[in-house]
Chains A and B, each alone.
Chain A
Amino acid sequence: MADSFTPMSRAAMAARVARDIPEGWYVNLGIGIPTLVADHVPADREVVIHSENGILGVGPAPAADAVDPWLINAGKSPVTLRPGGSYFHHADSFAIIRGGHIDLCVLGAFQVAGNGDFANWATSSNDLAPAVGGAMDLAAGAKRIWVVMEHTTKEGAPRLVQTCSYPLTALGVVGRVYTNLAVLDVTAQGFVVRDMVPGLTLRDLQDRTEARLVAG
Chain B
Amino acid sequence: MTRVIDKIVRSMAEAMAGIPDGATILLGGFGAAGQPTALLDGLIEQGATDLTIVANNAGTGRKGFARLLELGRVRRVICSFPRSAGSVVFEEVYRTGRLELEIVPQGTLAERMRAAGAGIPAFYTRTAVGTKLAEGKEVRNIDGVDYVMERALPGDVALVEAWQADRWGNLTYRRSGRNFNPVMAMAAKLTIVQAQHIVDLGALDPEGIVTPGVFVNRVVHVPYGDPPLG
Contact = CB atoms under 8 A, between A and B. Distances in A.
A94 to B, nearest CB: 3
Contacts of B201: none
B128 interface: yes
30 contacts: A53-B30, A54-B30, A69-B32, A69-B227, A70-B177, A71-B33, A71-B175, A71-B176, A72-B32, A72-B176, A87-B175, A89-B180, A90-B180, A91-B113, A91-B114, A94-B106, A94-B108, A94-B110, A125-B132, A129-B94, A129-B101, A131-B80, A131-B82, A132-B103, A135-B105, A136-B105, A136-B108, A136-B127, A141-B126, A141-B127
Determine the interface band of chain A, counting residues with CB < 8 A from chain B.
Answer: 35 or more
A188 interface: no
Kindly list the 5 A-B residue pairs having the minimum CB-CB distance in the complex, ordered from nearest. A94-B107, A137-B107, A76-B31, A90-B110, A134-B106
Interface of A: 51-55, 68-73, 76, 81, 87-91, 93-95, 97-98, 122, 125, 128-137, 139-141, 167-171
B80 A170 contact: no
B125 interface: yes
Given A70-B176, A91-B183, A128 B132 contact: no
B80 A53 contact: no
Interface of B: 30-33, 80-84, 90-91, 94, 101, 103-108, 110-111, 113-114, 125-133, 173-183, 210, 226-228
Contact of A70 (B33, B107, B111, B113): B33
A128 B132 CA distance: 11
A89 B83 contact: no
B131 A90 contact: no
Contacts of B126: 98, 140-141
Pick the most buried of A81, A87, A133: most chain B CB atoms within 10 A of its CB: A133
Contact of B80 (A51, A54, A73, A133): A133
B81 A133 contact: yes
Contacts of A89: 110, 173, 178-183, 210
B30 A170 contact: no
Contacts of A52: 106-107
Contacts of A90: 30, 106-107, 110, 179-180, 183
A169 B129 CA distance: 9
Contacts of B127: 98, 136-137, 139-141
Nearest to A169: B131
A174 to B, nearest CB: 14
Contacts of A167: 131-132
A90 B103 CA distance: 17
A81 B133 CA distance: 34
Given A91-B111, A94-B107, A140 B176 contact: no
Pick the most buried of A91, A130, A141, A170: most chain B CB atoms within 10 A of its CB: A91
A54 B178 contact: yes
Nearest to A134: B106
A170 B107 contact: no
Pick the most buried of B107, B108, B175: most chain A CB atoms within 10 A of its CB: B107
A171 B130 contact: yes
A170 B176 contact: no
A136 B128 contact: yes
A159 B178 CA distance: 37
Contacts of A128: 94, 101
